[in-house]
A and B are shown apart, each in its own frame.
Chain A
Amino acid sequence: MLEINNLHASVDGKQILKGIDLKVSSGEVHAIMGPNGSGKSTLSTVIAGHEDFEIDKGEILFEDEDLIDFNTEERAHKGIFLSFQYPVEIPGVTVTNFIKTSINQMRKANGLDEMPANVMLKKIREKSDLLKIDSKFLSRSLNEGFSGGEKKRNEIFQMAMLEPKLAILDETDSGLDIDALKIVANGVNMLRNDDTAVVLITHYQRLLDYIVPDFVHVLSDGKIVKSGNKNLAIELEAKGYDWVK
């Protein structure tokens, strides 16, 4: 589904990614771990298509198409979802209105009619129940005055609503207490099936107790320096990142 070959990317002339190779097939969950500043968030942002980042070399293929030809929203329309590490506030736009707009814009881009209101409402209810989201929460302004945990839960709610093919979760576990972490993990696990893929970007192994990855990659100074299965994460936790450098 996703194939990254020898990816070099920079921002403001500073090289951050220095030759990433990564292959993610449908049905798989990959965890990307690494110390601060190793390029984890840059990788997710580059896949999503942020224009501040320059691709200097290499390619990102999604379902065999080179993503460089597509802008951020077109990539989203193809089914790429990014759960933000720091979700932005949009005052006056409710959680419901935002997801409604998002879903309908996605449908429009894919040649579908708007989702009928009753179907939308049913889906919202279903997904918010799943993530234990209070209905009052849905009429609040997007991320305005949300706690760290509420912001992350809202990201997962959007993911559940949009049902992307590829979900990239950037530090979704940060700022979550253990109960919220379980709820979020449960939401991600519900999305897992043979046709979807998940890339978890995380600093700690904790999240991986609840979302068990098929592959673990360690990113250091813009390169993947080690790959393995879930045991690699446990080993990392015990030995620290210096071990792989």
Chain B
Amino acid sequence: MAYTEEELKKELETKEYEYGFYTDIESETFPKGLNEETVIAISKRKNEPDWMLEWRINAFNAWKKMEEPDWANINYKRPDYQDISYYSAPKKKEKYKSLDEVDPELIETFNKLGISIDEQKKLSGVAVDIVMDSVSVATTFRDTLEKKGIIFCSISDAIKEHPELVKKYLGTVIPPKDNFFAALNSAVFSDGSFCYIPKGVKCPMELSTYFRINQAGTGQFERTLVIADKGSYVSYLEGCTAPSRDENQLHAACVELIALDDAEIKYSTVQNWYPGDKHGNGGVFNFVTKRGICHKNSKISWTQVETGSAITWKYPSCILKGNNSIGEFYSIAVTNNFQQADTGTKMIHIGKNTKSTIISKGISAGKSQNSYRGLVRVNPGAKNARNFSQCDSLLMGNSCGAHTFPYIEAKNNSAQIEHEATTSKIGEDQIFYCNQRGIDTEKAIALIVNGFSKEVLNKLPMEFAVEAQKLLEISLEGSVG
């Protein structure tokens, strides 16, 4: 059937969120509301040392004086921060020693998500830490990693078992007062992942965290801290899902990466939080602060595939402090129906001969708005800094929008900065051509979108790339009516 914009729009509206189910696991949830007592209760619940509680209280006091930012190209009803529960944990208190002990329902959840842990263990050797609602449920492969001196555990465990590392690095890249959402996260973060790679160690497997919001009316505030010591390497994967709910759920995470001299961190995200229904009801508000610091000769690569959330506010950034350090940002952001995304990166060139690359692919459908916002700053001392930015937008239908806000601040005249941008549409002629080759319209759209996103998909680790392609298809397709 030949394809009109009308039909395309209709088809896209009919797609359903594939991960919209709810696991019935008993959980202990704090009453709604946020005050100093809440912060103390979270800290106490997690048996945290005093220095951690103090850190949280300072962040909370800073947050109280801050205002929610309004500069992003997004419209939404401000969350009522007193109408959210800040802690929810599955009721079993003991940590599971092996997967056999994990609640079968939880395992079922993972199976529905298509991330069978057993399979992952066997096939790909991915170490997985799963944060469901607020508590880290299972970390596999911990022993294998321990032999190499790699620490991969929940941030709560790290606070207790490796306080010297947490104290030294937590909040150094994203200070608690950095912004409204980072301050909130610093005050109430309930769990998240911690990773330390010792000097000269190449982490032998992909490390992976899966985040899932399950309980109604809860916020999820995870905190991730990755430290790659001198000359080390790690590839880190992060995946997210949430069940479909009518109300908006708040997610405000912080991810800090520290790449010491000659180290390399590859951080990949596939974000698939519930985007809301086709009328724009429900969906996750995703306000995330992600930032890494690069010391001498080090490299940080951010790769993200953002298909979910009603609101995405996210700018994974690199501070290129050390000479010859490299920052990379590869992004695919898909918005459909009433989704809004304002995402991009900041590359701050401080050291000499620092390089950054930005490849951003925005795909908009339905009535969605998709914005790229990026800053490239070259400080006065950053001699011979180089940046290349490419921002491509693909539009489907006539009711969506693609926007590009590139900011460039060059304060050293030896800097070389390039910026390229394109906007294109999926054409009816492309669809007809594919149809004539026996490829139905759904598959044709998937093919075209995958082709458009290829430069970024190629940057993902193999197992993740397959999942990401599948996600792109789910996000943009429905049954042909």
**Chain A residues proximal to chain B, CB less than 8 Å:** 48-52, 71-73, 76-77, 81-82, 84, 87-93, 97-98, 101-102, 105-106, 109, 141-142, 158, 162
Please indicate the chain B residues that have their CB under 8 angstroms from the CB of A81 in the complex. Answer: 436
Please indicate the chain A residues that have their CB under 8 angstroms from the CB of B452 in the complex. Answer: 91-92
Interface of A is mostly: mixed
Q: Which one, A77, A87, A93, contacts B438 given CB within 8 A?
A: A77
Please indicate the chain A residues that have their CB under 8 angstroms from the CB of B435 in the complex. Answer: 49, 71-73, 76
Chain B residues 150-199 with CB under 8 Å of chain A are none
B464 interface residue per 8 A CB criterion: no
Chain B residues 428-450 with CB under 8 Å of chain A are 429-430, 432-441, 443, 447-448, 450
A93 contacts B439, C-beta separation under 8 Å: no
What count of chain B residues pass the 8 Å CB interface test?
26
Please indicate the chain B residues that have their CB under 8 angstroms from the CB of A52 in the complex. Answer: 2
1/0 per residue, CB under 8 A from A, across B1-39: the answer is 111100000000000000000000000000000000000
CB B3 to nearest CB in A, in angstroms, measures 8
12 example contacts (A-B, Cβ-Cβ < 8 A) are as follows A51-B2, A73-B1, A84-B433, A87-B433, A89-B430, A90-B434, A91-B451, A92-B450, A98-B437, A101-B447, A102-B437, A106-B438
A101 contacts B451, C-beta separation under 8 Å: no
Please indicate the chain B residues that have their CB under 8 angstroms from the CB of A90 in the complex. Answer: 430, 433-434, 447-448, 451
Please indicate the chain A residues that have their CB under 8 angstroms from the CB of B323 in the complex. Answer: none
1/0 per residue, CB under 8 A from A, across B439-479: the answer is 11101000110111111000000000000000000000000
Please indicate the chain A residues that have their CB under 8 angstroms from the CB of B280 in the complex. Answer: none
A101 contacts B433, C-beta separation under 8 Å: no
Please indicate the chain B residues that have their CB under 8 angstroms from the CB of A98 in the complex. Answer: 437, 447
B1 contacts A93, C-beta separation under 8 Å: no
Please indicate the chain A residues that have their CB under 8 angstroms from the CB of B125 in the complex. Answer: none
Query: A49-B2, A51-B2, A52-B2 are known contacts. Are A88 and B436 too (CB-CB below 8 A)?
Result: no
Query: A82-B436, A88-B429 are known contacts. Are A72 and B2 too (CB-CB below 8 A)?
Result: yes
Please indicate the chain B residues that have their CB under 8 angstroms from the CB of A91 in the complex. Answer: 451-452
**Bound-state Cα–Cα, A82 to B436, Å:** 7
CB B269 to nearest CB in A, in angstroms, measures 21
CB B468 to nearest CB in A, in angstroms, measures 14
CB B88 to nearest CB in A, in angstroms, measures 42
**Bound-state Cα–Cα, A92 to B4, Å:** 23
**Chain B residues proximal to chain A, CB less than 8 Å:** 1-4, 427, 429-430, 432-441, 443, 447-448, 450-455
**Bound-state Cα–Cα, A97 to B443, Å:** 13
Please indicate the chain B residues that have their CB under 8 angstroms from the CB of A106 in the complex. Answer: 438
Query: A72-B1, A72-B2, A105-B438 are known contacts. Are A93 and B433 too (CB-CB below 8 A)?
Result: no
Q: Which one, A82, A84, A87, A141, contacts B451 given CB within 8 A?
A: A141
Interface of B is mostly: helix
**Bound-state Cα–Cα, A111 to B429, Å:** 27
B453 contacts A92, C-beta separation under 8 Å: yes
Please indicate the chain B residues that have their CB under 8 angstroms from the CB of A49 in the complex. Answer: 1-2, 435-436
Please indicate the chain B residues that have their CB under 8 angstroms from the CB of A48 in the complex. Answer: 436
**Bound-state Cα–Cα, A72 to B436, Å:** 6
Identify the closest chain A residue to B392 (Cβ).
A91
Identify the closest chain B residue to A99 (Cβ).
B437
A105 contacts B443, C-beta separation under 8 Å: yes
A50 contacts B438, C-beta separation under 8 Å: no
Please indicate the chain A residues that have their CB under 8 angstroms from the CB of B451 in the complex. Answer: 90-93, 141-142
Query: A73-B438, A76-B438, A92-B454 are known contacts. Are A50 and B447 too (CB-CB below 8 A)?
Result: no
B439 contacts A101, C-beta separation under 8 Å: yes
Please indicate the chain A residues that have their CB under 8 angstroms from the CB of B1 in the complex. Answer: 49, 51, 71-73
Identify the closest chain A residue to B426 (Cβ).
A90
CB B453 to nearest CB in A, in angstroms, measures 7
Those 5 A-B pairs whose CB atoms lie nearest each other, nearest first: A92-B451, A51-B2, A93-B451, A72-B435, A71-B1
Query: A50-B2, A50-B432, A92-B453 are known contacts. Are A76 and B437 too (CB-CB below 8 A)?
Result: yes
B439 contacts A102, C-beta separation under 8 Å: yes
**Bound-state Cα–Cα, A72 to B451, Å:** 22
Identify the closest chain B residue to A108 (Cβ).
B438
**Bound-state Cα–Cα, A71 to B436, Å:** 9
B2 contacts A76, C-beta separation under 8 Å: no
Please indicate the chain B residues that have their CB under 8 angstroms from the CB of A84 in the complex. Answer: 433, 436
Please indicate the chain A residues that have their CB under 8 angstroms from the CB of B434 in the complex. Answer: 90
Please indicate the chain B residues that have their CB under 8 angstroms from the CB of A89 in the complex. Answer: 430
Please indicate the chain A residues that have their CB under 8 angstroms from the CB of B454 in the complex. Answer: 92-93
Identify the closest chain B residue to A77 (Cβ).
B438
Of the listed residues B437, B438, B440, B447, the one surrounded by the most CB atoms of chain A closer than 10 A to its CB is B438
Identify the closest chain A residue to B7 (Cβ).
A51
A88 contacts B438, C-beta separation under 8 Å: no
CB A142 to nearest CB in B, in angstroms, measures 8
**Bound-state Cα–Cα, A97 to B458, Å:** 15
A93 contacts B450, C-beta separation under 8 Å: yes
Identify the closest chain A residue to B446 (Cβ).
A101
Identify the closest chain A residue to B1 (Cβ).
A71
Please indicate the chain B residues that have their CB under 8 angstroms from the CB of A101 in the complex. Answer: 439, 443, 447
Please indicate the chain A residues that have their CB under 8 angstroms from the CB of B443 in the complex. Answer: 101, 105
Please indicate the chain A residues that have their CB under 8 angstroms from the CB of B433 in the complex. Answer: 84, 87-88, 90
Please indicate the chain A residues that have their CB under 8 angstroms from the CB of B437 in the complex. Answer: 76, 98, 102, 105, 158, 162
Identify the closest chain B residue to A51 (Cβ).
B2
Please indicate the chain A residues that have their CB under 8 angstroms from the CB of B427 in the complex. Answer: 88
